[in-house]
Amino acid sequence: MFAQAGSYQAAVDEAQRLIARAPADAMAYTLLGIAHHAMNNLGAARQAFASALQLNPADENAKQGLQQVEEQFSKN
């Protein structure tokens, strides 16, 4: 989607629109986390991935994203 094209801010904006319309959409939070992570907004990425996992604990993309963010936090 947007992130694949390199337009991470557009992906953030779209994910936020999706969340506003459907706050229980785990995929939207995962998209938000991926975009924030790509922009090195680690705190926002962590929060988005955690929200996705609260809604869908089986979301492998959110699990992997959160793990990567936590690893980056531990390096700093």
Read off the CATH number of the domain in which 39 is found: 1.25.40.10
Q: Is the pLDDT of residue 17 over 90?
A: yes
Rg (CA), the chain: 11
Q: Measured between alpha carbons, how far is 64 from 74 in angstroms, rounded to an integer?
A: 15
Mean pLDDT to the nearest integer, 49-71:
98
In 10 A of CB 24, how many CB atoms? 10
Number of structural domains found in the chain: 1
Mean pLDDT to the nearest integer, 5-22:
90
Percent over 90 (pLDDT), the chain: 83
Average pLDDT value for the chain = 92
Percent over 70 (pLDDT), the chain: 91
pLDDT at 71: 95
Range(s) of the domain holding residue 60: 3-75
Type of residue at 64: Q
